[in-house]
A and B are shown apart, each in its own frame.
Chain A
Amino acid sequence: MAKELLKFECETGNYHTFCPISCVAWLYQKIEDSFFLVIGTKTCGYFLQNALGVMIFAEPRYAMAELEEGDISAKLNDLKELKRLCFQIQKDRNPSVIVWIGTCTTEIIKMDLEGIAPSIEEEIGIPIVVARANGLDYAFTQGEDTVLSAIAHRCPELKSKNSFVFQNFFNYSVKKSSLPLVLFGSVPNTVANQLTNELKKQDINIAGWLPSPRYNELPELGEGIYVCGINPFLSRTAMTLMRRRKCQLIGAPFPIGPDGTREWIEKICKVFNKKPINLREREEQIWSNLDDYIQLIKNKSVFFMGDNLLEISLARFLIRCGMIVYEIGIPYMDKRFQASELNLLEKTCQKMNVPIPRIVEKPDNYHQIQRIRALQPDLVITGLAHSNPLEARGITTKWSVEFTFAQIHGFTNSRDILELVTRPIRRNSNLKNLGWSKLVKI
Chain B
Amino acid sequence: MKLAYWMYAGPAHIGTLRVTSSFKNVHAIMHAPLGDDYFNVMRSMLERERDFTPVTASIVDRNVLARGSQEKVVENITQKAQQEKPNLIILTPTCTSSILQEDLQNFVDRAAINSECDILLADVNHYRVNEFQAADRTLEQIIRYSLEKIEKSNDLVKTKTSQPSANIIGIFTLGFHHQHDCREIHRLLKDLGIKVNLVIPEGGTIESLKNLVKAWFNIIPYREIGLMTAQYLKKVFNMPYISTTPMGIIDTANWIRQIKNILQDNCKINIEEYIDKQTRFVSQAAWFSRSIDCQNLTGKKAIVFGDATHAASMTKILSQEMGIRVICSGTYCKHDANWFREQVQGFCDKILITEDHTHVGNIIAEMEPSAIFGTQMERHVGKRLDIPCGVISAPIHIQNFPLSYRPFLGYEGTNQIADLVYNSFTLGMEDHLLEIFGGHDIKTVITKNLSTNENLQWSHAALVELNKIPGFVRNRIKRNTEKYARDNNIKEINVEVMYAAKEALAG
Contact = CB atoms under 8 A, between A and B. Distances in A.
A290 interface: no
B235 to A, nearest CB: 30
Contacts of B65: 107-108, 136
A51 B42 CA distance: 9
Interface string A347-372: 00000000000000000011001000
Cβ-closest 7 pairs across A and B = A19-B35, A135-B33, A385-B40, A392-B50, A81-B1, A57-B380, A42-B11
Contact of B38 (A47, A57, A67, A72): A47
A109 B11 CA distance: 19
Given A47-B35, A388-B44, A42 B3 contact: no
B34 interface: yes
Greatest chain A CB density within 10 A among B32, B34, B83 is at B34
A109 B65 CA distance: 11
- Interface residue SS majority, chain A: helix
Given A42-B7, A440-B50, A13 B61 contact: yes
A68 B127 contact: yes
A156 interface: no
Interface string A72-94: 10001000011011001100000
Interface of B: 1-7, 10-11, 13-14, 32-38, 40-42, 44-45, 48-53, 56-62, 65, 76, 83, 94-96, 99-100, 126-128, 130, 377, 380, 383, 397
Contacts of B2: 64-66, 68
A64 B42 contact: no
Contacts of A389: 44, 49-53
A125 interface: no
B99 A105 contact: yes
9 contacts: A14-B56, A42-B10, A42-B95, A50-B38, A57-B383, A135-B32, A137-B61, A137-B62, A388-B44
A19 B38 contact: yes
A45 B50 contact: no
Given A46-B11, A57-B380, A66-B1, A388 B50 contact: yes
Greatest chain A CB density within 10 A among B36, B58, B96 is at B96
Contact of B1 (A42, A49, A71): A71
Contacts of A392: 50-51
B45 A41 contact: no
A388 B1 contact: no
A14 B76 CA distance: 9
Contacts of B48: 388
Nearest to A50: B42
Contacts of B126: 41-43
A317 interface: no
A384 B130 CA distance: 25
A80 B317 CA distance: 47
Contact of B37 (A49, A139, A140, A385): A385
Contact of B96 (A17, A108, A365, A385): A108
Nearest to A80: B1
A46 B7 contact: yes
A71 B130 CA distance: 18
B34 A439 contact: no
Given A13-B59, A64-B3, A135-B36, A105 B95 contact: yes
A65 B50 CA distance: 36
Contacts of B94: 43
A365 B36 CA distance: 15
Given A67-B1, A136-B65, A386 B52 contact: yes
> Which bucket holds chain A's interface residue count?
35 or more
A53 interface: yes
Nearest to A331: B34
A286 interface: no
Given A43-B36, A68-B1, A85-B3, A385 B99 contact: no
B4 A17 contact: no
A18 interface: yes
Nearest to B40: A385
Greatest chain B CB density within 10 A among A18, A47, A66, A105 is at A47
Contacts of A13: 34, 59, 61
B44 A76 contact: no
A104 interface: yes
B35 A135 contact: yes
Given A134-B33, A388-B48, 19 more contacts: A41-B11, A42-B11, A42-B95, A43-B94, A45-B7, A46-B10, A50-B41, A50-B42, A56-B6, A57-B377, A64-B5, A65-B2, A104-B60, A104-B96, A105-B96, A136-B34, A140-B35, A389-B53, A392-B51
Given A13-B59, A389-B51, A64 B4 contact: yes
Nearest to B377: A57
A180 interface: no
A385 B59 contact: no
A398 interface: no
Contacts of A49: 6-7
Interface in A1-37: 13-14, 16-21
B51 A440 contact: yes
A41 B377 CA distance: 20
B72 to A, nearest CB: 9
Given A366-B56, A385-B37, A392-B50, A65 B3 contact: yes
Contacts of B96: 43, 104-105, 108
B44 A43 contact: no
B5 A63 contact: yes
A292 interface: no
A294 to B, nearest CB: 30
A422 interface: no
Contact of A439 (B50, B57, B397): B50
A89 B45 CA distance: 34
Contacts of A365: 56
A109 B61 CA distance: 14
B101 to A, nearest CB: 10
Nearest to B381: A57
Nearest to A70: B1
Interface in A319-369: 331, 365-366, 369
Given A14-B59, A63-B5, A388-B50, A41 B397 contact: no
A108 B3 CA distance: 21
B354 to A, nearest CB: 15
Contacts of A14: 56-59, 76
A122 interface: no
Nearest to A393: B50
Contacts of A50: 38, 41-42
Greatest chain B CB density within 10 A among A21, A50, A109, A139 is at A50
A200 to B, nearest CB: 39
Contacts of B37: 16, 385
A383 interface: yes
A138 to B, nearest CB: 8
Greatest chain A CB density within 10 A among B3, B7, B36 is at B3
B51 A51 contact: no
A63 B59 contact: no
Contacts of B99: 72, 105, 108-109
